[in-house]
């Protein structure tokens, strides 16, 4: 596991506890260079608060997040 993947999994671990309360989850699909592909499942997929993107922006500002 490389450094980016470790950090991505840490961010997902920290954000998923909050998403679980809303019957949602965010999962890693793949990492390609500095692009991180995340799938949001449940209510968070349509949520306007954009918690997943905010969490990644705060903790990993150098990556390009692609939400699916």
pLDDT of 24 = 94
Tell me the residue range of the domain where 28 lies: 3-67
- The domain that holds 11 is classified in CATH as 3.30.300.130
Contact 32, 2 (CB under 8 A): no
* DSSP-derived secondary structure for 5-26: HHHHHHHHHHHHHHHHTTT-EE
pLDDT of 16 = 96
For the chain, the domain total comes to 1
pTM: 0.90
Per residue in 15-66, pLDDT (tens digit) is: 999 999 989 999 999 999 999 999 999 988 888 888 999 999 999 999 999 9
pLDDT of 34 = 94
What's the CA gap between 68 and 26, in Å, rounded?
A: 10
């Amino acid at each position: 596991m490389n450094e980016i993947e470790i950090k991505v999994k840490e961010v997902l671990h920290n954000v998923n506890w909050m998403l679980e309360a809303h019957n949602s989850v965010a999962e890693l699909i793949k990492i390609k260079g500095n692009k991180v592909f995340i799938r949001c499942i449940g209510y968070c997929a349509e949520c306007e608060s954009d918690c997943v993107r905010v969490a990644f922006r705060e903790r990993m500002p150098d990556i390009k997040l692609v939400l699916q």
